[in-house]
Amino acid sequence: MKTFKLILLGLLTFIITAIWLTPTAFVAPHLQRVAPNIVISGGSGTIWNGSATNVRVNSFDLGKTTWKVLPLKSLTSFSLVSDVTVDGPEVTAAGQAAYAYDRAIRLTDMQFEAESSLIGRFQPMARLAGTFQGLIDNAEIRPKLFPSINGVLNWVQGSITFPVRLTPGNYRADISSQDDTILAQVESVDAPLELSGTASINGDWQYETDVVAKTKSGVPPLLNNLLRSAAGGNPSADGSVQIKRKGSINPIPLYQ
């Protein structure tokens, strides 16, 4: 019995070591079959501690990515949990990411920075400039389901270049999720467009806004006209308008 236990322990150690040292380049094609939404290119190192020249998630190129698997957290959460860093031309990030057996993607304590021009990939109506900086306390994205996210988003020196021009300013959104709804508390800091209020969107892709907006001197008249139109009335005595709107948008296929 003692000999059998030693053989079993040796075999188990060999299997774990073999898996631990499996090259990323060998695993990448097999990973794509299991998780077709993730494509690893230029892999090096091992599946437990490796890097790739590019990782594509849902047709979006992150750029150079490194990871280190956390075995204990992976075992206790029934998912592959890793410390991840991304250093791409448009996005940089560092934090913890998990990929679960049900294909759910979870992010924890993820700091990120991205060019705000990326918004143009999701909508053609406006062109933005500046930088998005933020912290994702926690987020979860499941296939074909509405996501949840809690964190902070800062738009640093954010500006609009089309269809109207808005000079740079700083804006902040504190984001929380509850009952299949994402809520953002919005405010401006040292910006030509003063904003204060809330905006939300739910799992049926219905949105609601209740925001007070006020422009400073030098803002293009067209923007003032657009704000009045959105508010549905003339500004108050202090020049501010209250934008209370409800509606719906076409579902955004975040994760199929």
Residue 228 placed within a domain: yes
Count the domains in the chain.
1
Domain around 185: 104-248
Residue 64 placed within a domain: no
Whole-number pLDDT of residue 104: 87
Residue 237 placed within a domain: yes
Going by C-beta distance under 8 Å and a sequence separation of 6 or more, which residues neighbour residue 162?
A: 126, 127
This prediction has a pTM of 0.81
Residue 223 placed within a domain: yes
Spatial separation of the C-alpha atoms in residues 216 and 223, rounded to whole Å: 11
At 238-252, the pLDDT tens digits run: 889 999 999 998 887
Residue 235 placed within a domain: yes
At 25-56, the pLDDT tens digits run: 545 554 556 566 678 788 777 777 888 888 88
For residue 8, pLDDT over 70 is answered with no
Q: How confident is the model at residue 237 (pLDDT cuts 50, 70, 90)?
A: confident
Residue 131 placed within a domain: yes
At 135-184, the pLDDT tens digits run: 999 999 988 889 999 999 999 999 998 888 889 999 999 999 999 999 99
Residue 197 placed within a domain: yes
Residue 230 placed within a domain: yes
